[in-house]
Amino acid sequence: MNFLTFKGGIHPPDSKSATSTKAIETMKAPKEVIIPLHQHIGAPCQPTVNPKDEVKVGQMIGEPQGFVSAPIHASVSGTVKEVAIKPIGGGRNVQCVVIESDGLDEIHPDIQPYGSIESMDEKQIIEMVQKAGMVGMGGATFPTHVKLSPPPEKPIETIIINGAECEPYLTADYRLMLEDPETLVLGLKIIMKSVGAKQGMIGIEANKKDAIDKVLKVIHEKEPIHVVALQTKYPQGAEKQLIEACTKRQVPSGGLPMDVGVVVNNVGSAYQIAKTYQTGMPLIERITTVTGSCIAEPKNLKVKIGTSIKELVEFCGGYTKTPGKIIFGGPMMGMAQDSDEYPIEKGTSGVLIFDENEAVIPDPVNCIRCSKCIEICPIYLMPVTISEYSLADRMPDAERYNALDCIECGSCSYICPSKRPLLQSIRVAKSTIMAERKKQEK
Amino acid sequence: MEEKLIVSSSPHIRDDNSVSKVMGDVVIALIPATLGAVYFFRTRAAILILVAVITAVLAEAAIQKLRKQPVTVSDMSAVVTGLLIALNLSPAVSWWLPAIGSVFAIVVVKQIFGGLGKNFMNPALAARILLTLSWTERMTEWVSPGVDMVSAATPLSFVKGEVAVPAGAPSLFDAFIGNIGGCMGETSALLLLIGGAYLVYRKVISIHIPAVYIGTVALLTLLNSGFNVEYMAYHVVSGGLMIGAIYMATDYASSPLTTEGKVIYAVGCGVLTATIRIFGGYAEGVGFSILLMNVATPLIDRYTAPAIYGEVKKQNA
């Protein structure tokens, strides 16, 4: 098989063996869930419930504000205990609905399957996606219905399902592709119909050969759907790199996938869209990988949104040693958390727990100008130069070197023999430049 | 929770590469040439190499202590500098020459400009030039290999001003394996190439600088001699070209960052070397060429930033 890829990138150890053979387990609803009303990029939701209200599974508890927003639903049935601002992952303080579960998981009566896909038109599908509170489940959490509503001058030809799962440790997407490829492909077909796309692609890295085979088996020959075998390389699952590998087209600098006629969806998102279509149930649970050297029994879990990290860890046999770092997502792009009491959100693709040794931040030494970061940057930036300008507070120069094009994949920091905080300083440059632009617009 | 959790910017994993591993690879790559020097020039070579390396490491530790900076000799970069200085000397020099060279390279060229990665020219090469200009006679007194140290001319002095290899010059084969007069480490092209192959294989250096540098010198000497291949080969395997192109011009701190920049820089090194060798007053021009291009590096970097992802398309659209 001919494996496709992009230029640049790195080969971190994949560390997936702890969970790659573990079938997805469903975790029972916890006694209490904390559901943040802001789990997406865009405007936060307004609560539609009050303390002491009874709620059922799938009931909307947060109403979206504006187009770029996504509703929030109850993941358990029970009583609303509290509607209050609480600290959640990523150092944010967000209004949350705390629901005490009655343990019955009673489904809201409005939750009904959506007839047949043939009878639904584009508008109805997008409305279904919007009502389900769908967001990019790979971690970006951009509202899916917005992606599926491009302006008329940008027709979408191709839908790509991102099954690269190039982040080390994570295996949730892989297990999903192995265990239920039919539903995944159904999800792809629904998305294709929603934008009138002519072809669908499922990009899977070569280290998941069995997933490639499984997905291939459920695709009929006549269908305009292809499985694209990708080289195992990080960041193969980054949107621009995935699009280039699959279609040979580069998304323009500052542009969006729709500029080259493509929409990319994560495996988890496509699966959830199919599930919503089959059952009517909005996005209230997700599959996430709980792993790392501190976890007694690493697992792939189907969990209710709002379950705390702590409960996940307990379900996986608890901590085997003192945790040093808790990460939402993978080790390359995931976000470190300061407590294990935070809830799982729509975009939490993994919970990775490092011990104290793995958590140590290496001491940076002088840059030796080896130019490895330039060789591997998948956007062809000069990370060392942008970083130097950022650290010297010369932001206009950092901007001139295209700091804003950085996709924050972290390959530069990973490869650096001097352990320089390259991405960290580029992030500082990006946010400073953006803040300056906003100021100028005013 | 009671435990202390570390919260930091991603990525949360790092490659296990490090500066000392990179420098260690350079030392490993220089082992064949070092052993070659000891084989051809015996105990004298061993003593000079030890003096240069030990002085370099001590000088670095001393200046960092003096300036109340963390001592970083464990990163091996001072060992590389010391070793390169020794290999750039005639085996006939007195023991204090490498010592002065090492102190100058480490203290003046490297540490005063900010230490590792901040030197604007190659420290070992700057030291060689300093010593050549200060003690020209001692630095250009060559001896033939072996114990008796008969004074000998370098192969390059035979072809100086010529357009063909004159009779009586050492054979091309001797020049290739290093059985000739010259600096301790630069005489054996073969051993230097073995080390260079290791560096390319380990991805410590990219092949661009050495290949383009040597290629440019080859092309220009070929043109100068009216396509005399023997004359060209003589230029390529003699003098400091191999050690310069593989180990000195590739110094990270003083060479350009991008591939395009590296190619421009290497062409510049090659043109200057060939010009000095053919038209200049010196028989050898590698040292000056590289130092000149070192100084041009910031300028080259400035004009060779790569086109970023999706940029070309945007302009066409």
Q: What is the mean pLDDT of residues A176-194?
A: 96
Q: Residue B147: its pLDDT value, please?
A: 67
B7 in contact with A, Cβ within 8 Å: yes
**CA nearest neighbour of B257 among A223, A383, A85:** A383
Minimal Cβ distance to A168: which of B13, B72, B253: B13
Minimal Cβ distance to A336: which of B7, B22, B313: B7
pTM of the model: 0.92
Q: What is the mean pLDDT of residues A192-198?
A: 94
Which of the residues B3, B4, B8, B13 would you substitute to probe the A interface, choosing the one with the greatest number of A C-beta atoms within 10 Å? B13
Cα–Cα distance for residue pair B252/B202, rounded to 1 Å: 15
Tokens, residue A201: 């692609």
The reply to whether residue A423 touches residue B10, judged by beta carbons under 8 angstroms, is yes
The reply to whether residue B10 touches residue A366, judged by beta carbons under 8 angstroms, is no
Closest Cα in chain A, distance from residue B10 (Å) = 5
Q: Residue B166: its pLDDT value, please?
A: 83
Minimal Cβ distance to A334: which of B10, B15, B308: B10
- DSSP string across A89-118: GGGEEEEEEEEEE-SS-PBPTT------GG
Residues of A numbered 138-177 whose beta carbons fall under 8 angstroms of chain B's beta carbons: which are they?
Answer: 168
Enter the ipTM: 0.90
The reply to whether residue A354 touches residue B313, judged by beta carbons under 8 angstroms, is no
The reply to whether residue A335 touches residue B310, judged by beta carbons under 8 angstroms, is no
Q: Confirm if A126 and A148 have CB atoms less than 8 A apart.
A: yes
DSSP A29: P
pLDDT beyond 90 at A131: yes
Chain centre distance of CA A97: 22
Q: Residue A2: its pLDDT value, please?
A: 67
Buried b / exposed e over B278-317, threshold 16 CB at 10 Å, is beeeebbbbbbbbbebbeebeebbeebbbebbbbebeeee
Tokens, residue A23: 């079938």
- DSSP string across B29-97: HHHHHHHHHHHHHHHHHHHHHHHHHHHHHHHHHHHHHHTT----GGGSHHHHHHHHHHHTS-TTS-THH
Minimal Cβ distance to A417: which of B21, B253, B314: B21
pLDDT beyond 50 at B98: yes
Give the number of other CB atoms < 10 A from CB of residue A106.
16
Q: What is the mean pLDDT of residues A421-425?
A: 97
The reply to whether residue A326 touches residue B5, judged by beta carbons under 8 angstroms, is yes
B309 in contact with A, Cβ within 8 Å: yes
Minimal Cβ distance to A370: which of B10, B12, B252: B252
Chain centre distance of CA B199: 13
Cα–Cα distance for residue pair A151/A310, rounded to 1 Å: 43
**H helices of A305-355, where?**
309-315
Q: Residue B153: its pLDDT value, please?
A: 76
Closest Cα in chain A, distance from residue B196 (Å) = 16
- A201-241 pLDDT per residue, tens: 999 999 999 999 999 999 998 899 999 999 999 999 999 99
Cα–Cα distance for residue pair A285/A415, rounded to 1 Å: 35
Which chain B residue has the Cα nearest residue A379? B309
pLDDT beyond 80 at A137: yes
pLDDT beyond 50 at A294: yes
Q: Identify the residue whose tokens are 């799962």.
A: A165
- DSSP string across A227-242: EEEE-S-BTTTSHHHH
Cα–Cα distance for residue pair B309/A377, rounded to 1 Å: 10
pLDDT beyond 60 at B316: no
A111 in contact with B, Cβ within 8 Å: no
Residues of A in contact with B309 (CB under 8 A): 240, 250, 253, 378-380, 405
Minimal Cβ distance to B310: which of A252, A341, A361: A252
Give the strand pairing for A78-88 and A92-101.
antiparallel
Cα–Cα distance for residue pair A354/A414, rounded to 1 Å: 17
Fill in the amino acid letter for A49.
Answer: V
Residues of B in contact with A250 (CB under 8 A): 309-310, 312-313
Residues of B in contact with A331 (CB under 8 A): 10-13
Cα–Cα distance for residue pair A337/A342, rounded to 1 Å: 8
Task: Please give the C-alpha separations between residue A270 and each of A189, A190, B37, B93, in angstroms, as whole numbers.
Answer: 9, 8, 66, 74
Q: How many residues does chain A have?
A: 442
Residue with more model confidence, A276 or B143: A276
Which chain A residue has the Cα nearest residue B119? A368
How many helices and strands (H and E) does chain B possess?
A: 14, 0
Tokens, residue B55: 């002085």
Residue A267 belongs to what H/E stretch?
helix A267-279
DSSP B109: I
Give the domains, in start order, of chain A with CATH numbers: 117-279 (3.40.50.11540), 372-441 (no CATH)
Tokens, residue A378: 């998948």
Q: Is A95 exposed, middle or buried (0-12, 13-18, 19+ CB in 10 A)?
A: middle
- Sign (positive/negative) of CA torsion A409, A374, B17, A231? positive
Minimal Cβ distance to B19: which of A340, A368, A411: A368
Q: What is the mean pLDDT of residues A344-352?
A: 96
Give the three-state DSSP class for A266.
strand
Residues of A in contact with B15 (CB under 8 A): 10, 12, 414-417
A224 in contact with B, Cβ within 8 Å: no
- B104-157 pLDDT per residue, tens: 999 999 999 999 999 999 999 999 999 999 998 888 888 888 766 677 777 788
Best CATH choice for the domain B19-302 from the list 1.10.3430, 3.40.50, 1.10.3470, 3.40.390: 1.10.3430
Tokens, residue B275: 């010009």
Cα–Cα distance for residue pair B155/B171, rounded to 1 Å: 9
Q: What is the mean pLDDT of residues A13-37?
A: 95
pLDDT beyond 80 at A174: yes
Which chain A residue has the Cα nearest residue B4? A324
A354 in contact with B, Cβ within 8 Å: yes
Minimal Cβ distance to B317: which of A252, A415, A417: A252
Q: Any residues with CB less than 8 A from the CB of B111 and at least 6 apart, and which?
A: B60, B63, B64, B67
Q: Residue B317: its pLDDT value, please?
A: 38
- B56-91 pLDDT per residue, tens: 999 999 999 999 999 999 999 999 999 999 999 999
The strands making up A46-47's β-sheet, listed across from edge to edge, are A46-47, A60-63, A72-73
Closest Cα in chain A, distance from residue B105 (Å) = 17
The reply to whether residue A333 touches residue B19, judged by beta carbons under 8 angstroms, is no
Query: Could you tell me the pLDDT band of residue B314, with boundaries at 50, 70 and 90?
Result: very low
The reply to whether residue B117 touches residue A339, judged by beta carbons under 8 angstroms, is no
Q: Confirm if A80 and A52 have CB atoms less than 8 A apart.
A: yes
Cα–Cα distance for residue pair A260/A251, rounded to 1 Å: 6
Q: What is the mean pLDDT of residues A111-129?
A: 91
Query: Could you tell me the pLDDT band of residue B3, with boundaries at 50, 70 and 90?
Result: low
Residues of A numbered 40-99 whose beta carbons fall under 8 angstroms of chain B's beta carbons: which are they?
Answer: 91
Residue ranges covered by each domain of chain B: 19-302
Cα–Cα distance for residue pair A39/A69, rounded to 1 Å: 9
Fill in the amino acid letter for A132.
Answer: A
Residues of B in contact with A234 (CB under 8 A): none
Give the number of other CB atoms < 10 A from CB of residue B243.
28
Minimal Cβ distance to A366: which of B15, B117, B306: B117
Residues of B numbered 14-73 whose beta carbons fall under 8 angstroms of chain A's beta carbons: which are they?
Answer: 14-15, 17-19, 21-22, 72
Q: Confirm if B71 and B65 have CB atoms less than 8 A apart.
A: yes
Q: Residue B313: its pLDDT value, please?
A: 45
Tokens, residue B35: 């052993």
Give the three-state DSSP class for A185.
helix
B6 in contact with A, Cβ within 8 Å: yes
**CA nearest neighbour of B131 among B108, B97, B158, B164:** B97
Give the three-state DSSP class for A288.
strand
Which chain A residue has the Cα nearest residue B308? A380
Mean pLDDT value across chain A: 94
Task: Provide the terminal-to-terminal Cα distance of chain A, rounded to the nearest Å.
Answer: 54
Query: What residues pair up with A226 in beta bridges, in sequence order?
Result: A201
∠B75-B79-B80 over CA atoms, to 5°? 95
Minimal Cβ distance to B5: which of A325, A374, A378: A325
Q: Confirm if A298 and A19 have CB atoms less than 8 A apart.
A: yes
Q: What is the mean pLDDT of residues A234-256?
A: 94
Fill in the amino acid letter for A213.
Answer: D
- Share above pLDDT 90 across residues of chain B, in percent, rounded to a whole number: 72
A349 in contact with B, Cβ within 8 Å: no
Q: Residue B315: its pLDDT value, please?
A: 45
Q: How many residues does chain B have?
A: 317
B115 in contact with A, Cβ within 8 Å: yes
- B7-55 pLDDT per residue, tens: 999 999 999 999 999 999 999 999 999 999 999 888 999 999 999 999 9
Give the three-state DSSP class for A407.
coil
The reply to whether residue B305 touches residue A331, judged by beta carbons under 8 angstroms, is no
